[in-house]
Amino acid sequence: MSNLVWSSDGGQVREPSRSSRPPKPSRPPKRGKQRRGPVRDSLPSDPGDGFVRLHRGKSAKGGKPGTLVVGLPGSDADLDAVLKRCKQRIGTGGTRQERVLVIQGDHREKLKALLEGDGHRVKLAGG
């Protein structure tokens, strides 16, 4: 075994180390965060009594607070128009999951005033 560590011929010289430890078994590569939408069972259902309900909920993004709007009448195009108007007036993001509007953040009071101004009967639900 040589104690040579550096040589002018080849620069730094290293011999392969002989460790008494066995090599670590390889693990599968780590997977990045997967984006998941809300579970369909966790979305509140519309009781169909003519009231628009504003629920406090949590989004799939790390459990951040969100406001769920349930019970709006109209077609899918009407729901998209209401969602767009709510996002613009409140200044936040949001999406539509089937017939439920999901607005980012807890904006139940602002949404109540906005929807009542449009002629809807609104109830605050979910604590």
Q: In the chain, where does DSSP find H-type helix?
A: 76-90, 108-117
For the stretch 87-119, pLDDT in tens is: 999 999 999 988 899 999 989 999 999 999 989
DSSP 41: G
Q: What is the value of pTM for the model shown? A: 0.63
For the stretch 41-94, pLDDT in tens is: 467 777 778 889 999 887 666 678 889 999 999 899 999 999 999 999 999 999
Query: What residues does 55 pair with on adjacent strands?
Result: 68, 125
Reported in sequence order, the residue ranges of the chain that DSSP labels E, i.e. its strands, are: 6-7, 11-12, 51-58, 65-70, 94-97, 100-104, 121-125
| CATH homologous superfamily of 49-125 | SUI1-like domain (3.30.780.10)
Give the residue carrying structure tokens 């002018």: 8
Residue ranges per structural domain of the chain: 49-125
